[in-house]
Homo-oligomer: A and B are copies of this chain.
């Protein structure tokens, strides 16, 4: 497995890989969710390339950039055992050299949900993903459904800007008790880890209400809101019942519908979602 740090070396090495090529961009601190992306990429492509880069431009001031978990040694050993062909671990200076000043924005889709809480987040995500797609020019790139809005935004960017890479979404991987896998889970204390189940429990409640015939988005949000309010370590950031294509909030939750939420558990902000198809 090649572990590379410079864009110029990546370009040369990628040219000699057997196609089709699947790219899995990550921020490291890898878990089974990432490995599901890699295994899918392995099934679909002749070569799998992976990036580890905690992208500073997608963190707002006051967010957890410096706190974000990093464990490159463990990550590389995991990727090696998955027979990844090439890993790119650039420095922030390699990706954002002095004078860097070009940005990609996706409009309406990014003003909702995460975008409302994290104003420049998707600008950072789109910009780094476009850069990585340009460097690797992969046939396919893989993103987790846990970051549902991120996957939608990247799909829109790819279509709008005529990028020749197919974007593949991979389902959420959960712990046996239901917690969606996230690198940030490692930052939770034992008490917080228990409290974090409020996210999956909220989604289960929503699906149950839906299956019982409830269609009023406002009622679903209120029930979830009460559930979260009863968990002392949890603070609701948003609960969204939205059209899964436009992300417009809807009043009548007729399927398909995306139910998504962000909750702070102590200092750690977690997200989760479910699509009722």
Contact = CB atoms under 8 A, between A and B. Distances in A.
Number of copies: 2
Nearest to A134: B162
Contacts of A102: 104-107, 126, 156-157, 160-161
A98 to B, nearest CB: 11
Contacts of A126: 102
Nearest to A135: B162
A164 B134 contact: yes
Contacts of A104: 102-105, 161
A229 interface: no
Contacts of A109: 101
Interface in A105-136: 105-109, 126-127, 130-131, 134-135
Contacts of A157: 102
A164 B102 CA distance: 15
Nearest to A246: B99
Interface of A: 7, 11, 99-109, 126-127, 130-131, 134-135, 137, 156-157, 160-164
